[in-house]
Structure 1
């Protein structure tokens, strides 16, 4: 029952701003530190750049291997390439030769 002399509380005016600040604080924190926040986006970019660098190295290695396979394929057998690969695989050289091994996997 309301009476004419009801005392108004001043704390009622602070409830909505307090709830608003709590929501903004929660979502603000998670937009920076959350699983999909700004810090996670920076880590993702670092990993992406590392993987792109790794991919570039693998593409370069693949092109060199494709060139070797093309030189040794049936249609265009080159004696020098076959001789070089046989010597490399069998580790054979003549006494008057100087051998410099350059790995194909580099």
Structure 2
């Protein structure tokens, strides 16, 4: 009985592991450095925290402005509020006044 005996190739046994390493390497790299990877996720989180802080600051400023507008627009405008706003915007004071700037505006 004649049989063909095939010689085992050394290269043949490395094909499947090489493909597996390439596959895992590709997806491993993109899971860290890709558009939705770990590094990008950290950057997104950092931007989210910064924007949440900015939103809180702007919300507080808006509420202060709304309180100020409510004092001016309720129909009975308070004299001291009108006087304070006019002096601040026009940068005017009387000679007998002491002006203290606290930087809130």
TM-score by length of 2: 0.87
Name whichever of 69-78 and 30-39 sits farther off.
69-78
Q: Could you list the per-position Cα deviations for residues 44-88 of structure 1 after superposition, in whole angstroms to 9, with x for gaps in the alignment?
A: 101110111111110111011111101110423111100111112
Q: Could you list the per-position Cα deviations for residues 3-54 of structure 1 after superposition, in whole angstroms to 9, with x for gaps in the alignment?
A: 6133222321221111011100111011001111000100110111011111
Instruction: Show the counterpart of 1:11.
Output: 11
Gaps of 5+ in 1: none
- What count of residue pairs does the alignment treat as equivalent? 103
RCO greater where, 1 or 2, for CA within 8 Å and sep 6 or more?
1
Which stretches of structure 1, 4 residues or more, deviate above 4 A after TM superposition?
Answer: none
Instruction: Show the counterpart of 1:41.
Output: 41
Distance 1:85 1:6 in 2: 98
For the aligned residue pairs, the C-alpha RMSD in angstroms reads 1.7
TM-score by length of 1: 0.86
Distance 2:102 2:79 in 1: 19
